[in-house]
A and B are shown apart, each in its own frame.
Chain A
Amino acid sequence: MLTSLILLIVLMIFGAIIALESKDLLSGIISLGIVGFALTIIFLLLHAPDLAIVQIIIETLTLVILIAAVLKTTRKDTSEEFGLQKVLLWGACICFAGVFMWKFLTILNHLPPFGSPELRMSLAYLNGTAQTGAMNLVAAVILDFRAYDTLGEATVLFTSVAGIIAVLRKVGRKT
């Protein structure tokens, strides 16, 4: 289980690197698909079927939207930094990543180990079927215990649709 998990995460990392480094935007987006679908399988391994379903469908739809956008515009990534600027950027990135990783490694032992989290708030949720009547505990959490969050989440989607329709207007200003 742990081995396959680590292998899948490594696959995700490779997919991410290819997605960022490829010169062709379309193949970059398809490599991004590797990351998303590997994440779906990881969700299944971690006993999160709800997440796997949502992730696989939303991944597909996101890829469709991205591919539609790229096919309408251009596939080539012509932006490449050269010379001093590239060196400086890389240096800054490596420094930051190094410090971040180092700090994270020092706290790793203070966090609860993988596989046995300390439950506090969710102890009550584990018995959610008796309290809400829903068999699916995730549904019980998102629509009963924490339904207010879900209202916010639906509102985010509503907001972004309103924003997209507003941004893609042909004319913004009356003259």
Chain B
Amino acid sequence: MIESQWVFVLAILLFLIGLYGVLVKRNLIKIVIGLMIMEYAINLVFALIGYRSEGTSPISFNGAEQNAAAIFVDPLPQALVLTAIVIGLGTTALLVSFAVRIFEKYDTFDVRKIRKLRG
């Protein structure tokens, strides 16, 4: 295996840690944290995918004519991450407001004390 591929493995490890938080933790805020870690891991994967080892930032300071000569990193994954970050912010804020509202009703963040619904 090429040595540099290990960065992907580490990113997937981060994703799995987030997944662990979502599935195992029994605290609403911890679950939110787990989902956020998964978001970070995915953004990291996207950014790693777009990287080109000899590339520069996808911004041309010299005008269009010199663009062809320079090598840029792939701008598309960056655009996707930008979208993903904002979507993540939206979902996180919504989750936090739900958690706060649930705390107001039950006075706890503990999932096991909240469960009123039958499975």
Q: Residues on A close to B: CB < 8 A?
A: 2, 5-6, 9-10, 12-13, 16-17, 19-20, 25, 28-29, 32, 35-36, 39, 42-43, 46-51, 54-55, 58, 61-62, 65-66, 69-70, 72-74, 77-81, 89-90, 93, 97, 100-101, 104-105, 108-109, 111, 113-117, 119, 121-122, 125-130, 135-138, 140-142, 146, 149-150, 152-153, 156-157, 159-160, 163-164, 167-168
Contacts and interface: CB of A to CB of B under 8 A. Distances in A.
A9 B7 contact: yes
Interface of B: 1-14, 16-21, 23-27, 29-30, 32-34, 36-37, 40, 43-44, 47-53, 55-61, 63-64, 67-68, 72-76, 78-79, 81-83, 85-87, 89-94, 96-101, 103, 108-112
A160 to B, nearest CB: 4
A69 B51 contact: no
Given A100-B12, A146-B79, A73 B89 contact: no
Contacts of B74: 117, 119, 122, 125-126
